[in-house]
Amino acid sequence: MTTAKVGKEEQLNLETVTWGELTWVNIEGPTELETKYLAKHYPFDLLVLDDCLSRIERPKIDEYKEYLFLVFHFPVFRKEVRVTAPGQLSVFIGDNYLVTLHKGELKPLVKLFKECQIDKESRQEHFRYGSGYLLYQIIDRLVDYCFPILNKIVANIEQVEDNIFDVKGNIIREISMLRRDIIAFRRILWPMRAVIASLEPKIRRFSNMDMGVYFGDTVDHVDRIWDALDEYKEVIEGLNDTHDSLAASHTNQTMRIVTIIATILLPLSVVASIYGMNIPLPLQNSPYSFLIVSVIMLTIIGGMLLFFRRKHLI
């Protein structure tokens, strides 16, 4: 058993952990230097290695005679922009090696590798059944890591539900960001379901134990996550409809008040316009003309308010 970091003189961003005949090669932030190293020491096709440097590759399984090449996407929540983005993991798996290439965003993977580096029992536990079992451990941890992200979405939904009746707040922005998160999560998970579901028969040759039950459990977790996202999607659409209804009701109430005020002011404007004309009018020269006009206006206001009250408009 050995734990080693590839020679610093080569300036490779590459670390390895070995137990028995199995070696786990982990590369964070792969560059052309690392891919050239892999091409020199492993039977990997150059075109496949170029895919590892691609910004985003679609999740897939490519089968070759001596190894499999796999691409996975797992959700990564980026706090600075409050958005869920795909974290890409590229994997080469052979009889006595497992090579992982990623950007270091997948915390469960980074944590598992460090555990295997420093803990002998952890190496023995994860390496003893072959590279296929080690790959299962990685995928299972990354799938389970989706649940805390789901819990964060649930907490945000509950907060929006508590504030949904505050039409003056910026609820529509929160709803829109939640909807964006759910859509992004679903977009990441959808192609992954098929890849993980079809993975067990293909890696069976790289494990010395039956992996069917293990991958069945992982597929069940993925399905649970998908069902939860479906439910959250419906909830957020319902909250959006509720907010739209409340906003429309608030707007209608405001417009009704404005309309009543305008309706009341209309006859008052007519009376004021008539008595503002430069022509002889009844009571125009009376010392009580202002008082009389004021009484007329107040009478009109009172009558219209009484009318609106009986019609349940106010």
Is the same domain home to 145 and 254?
Answer: no
Distances (CA, A) of 218 to 119, 141, 202, 250, 312: 25, 9, 16, 47, 60
CATH for 268: 1.20.58
Is the same domain home to 80 and 196?
Answer: yes
Is the same domain home to 37 and 157?
Answer: yes
* Domain of 38, in residue numbers: 2-248
CA distance 88 to 101: 8
Is the same domain home to 163 and 219?
Answer: yes
Q: Which of 248, 275, 291 is the last residue of a domain?
A: 248
Is the same domain home to 226 and 256?
Answer: no
Is the same domain home to 137 and 264?
Answer: no
> Do 93 and 132 meet the contact criterion of CB atoms below 8 Å apart?
yes
Q: Where in the chain does DSSP place strands (E)? A: 2-5, 14-19, 22-28, 60-63, 68-78, 83-93, 97-102
What residues of the chain score a pLDDT lower than 50? 1-9
> Do 271 and 293 meet the contact criterion of CB atoms below 8 Å apart?
yes
Is the same domain home to 21 and 166?
Answer: yes
Is the same domain home to 239 and 261?
Answer: no
- The domain tally of the chain equals 2
Q: Which of 231, 248, 265 is the last residue of a domain?
A: 248
Determine the Cα angle at 184 with ends 180 and 190, to 5°: 145
Is the same domain home to 202 and 70?
Answer: yes
Write down the pTM of the prediction. Answer: 0.77
Is the same domain home to 306 and 229?
Answer: no
Interval 166-218: pLDDT, tens: 656 678 888 888 888 899 899 999 988 889 989 888 888 888 888 888 889 99
> Do 164 and 239 meet the contact criterion of CB atoms below 8 Å apart?
yes
Interval 83-100: pLDDT, tens: 788 889 999 999 999 999
Residue type, 112: L
Is the same domain home to 159 and 235?
Answer: yes
